[in-house]
Amino acid sequence: MRKIVLVLGVLAFGATNAQEAQAQVFLGPTVAFHDDFDFGLGATLGVKMPALGERIGFLGDFILFFPDADNLDYLEINANVTYDLNAGDPTFKPFGILGLNVARASVDVDGIGDNSNTEIGLNVGAGVTFDVGKINPMVGLRLELSGGEGFVLFASLPFDVSGN
């Protein structure tokens, strides 16, 4: 688990260091719904990287879910590449998602202790960003082909923190 978090951290750090290449960096709160683990709260980091291509970006998030079950904790870390689809309207930007998912479930059983499981999986999905200046609200759907094995609806309110 530590190695995975380290790799994801390095990827995110590298993406944020892309500011030198005129990248736009967005950071903001996220709310999500997982079909198995109910609602969650977290943070999203988005980076547009024109040096890699006009339509390519990075979308990472950390979401802590609040399942409707006693003594169960569930969290996800996602690192995705996004591809902007051409919609013709600059304020309405659909995008595709392909990436990695790290899902961790932990159950605390009285008298026995903590039992946890961490899995790595693949994400595919799509979403829409509404470009309204320094704030770019986004909504989307992410299917987890393994790891979290479900679907996640998410909404985020990222702010442009790059100063561009």
More confident: 137 or 160: 137
What pLDDT is attached to residue 6? 47
User: Distance between CA 72 and CA 78 in Å, rounded?
Assistant: 20
What pLDDT is attached to residue 8? 47
Residue type, 143: L
Mean pLDDT, to the nearest integer, of 117-139? 90
pLDDT at position 18 over 80: no
What pLDDT is attached to residue 86? 80
Residues 6+ apart with CB under 8 A from 141: 125, 126, 127, 151, 152, 153, 154
Mean pLDDT, to the nearest integer, of 150-155? 93
Residues 6+ apart with CB under 8 A from 146: 101, 119, 120, 121, 122
pLDDT band at 68 (very low <50, low <70, confident <90, very high): confident
Q: Which of 42-56, 71-85, 111-125 has the highest mean predicted lDDT (pLDDT)?
A: 71-85
Residues 6+ apart with CB under 8 A from 70: none
- Cα 130 to Cα 19, 41, 114, 133: the distances in Å are 22, 21, 42, 9
More confident: 161 or 30: 30
Structure tokens at 91: 């304020």
Q: What is the mean pLDDT of the chain?
A: 83
pLDDT band at 22 (very low <50, low <70, confident <90, very high): low
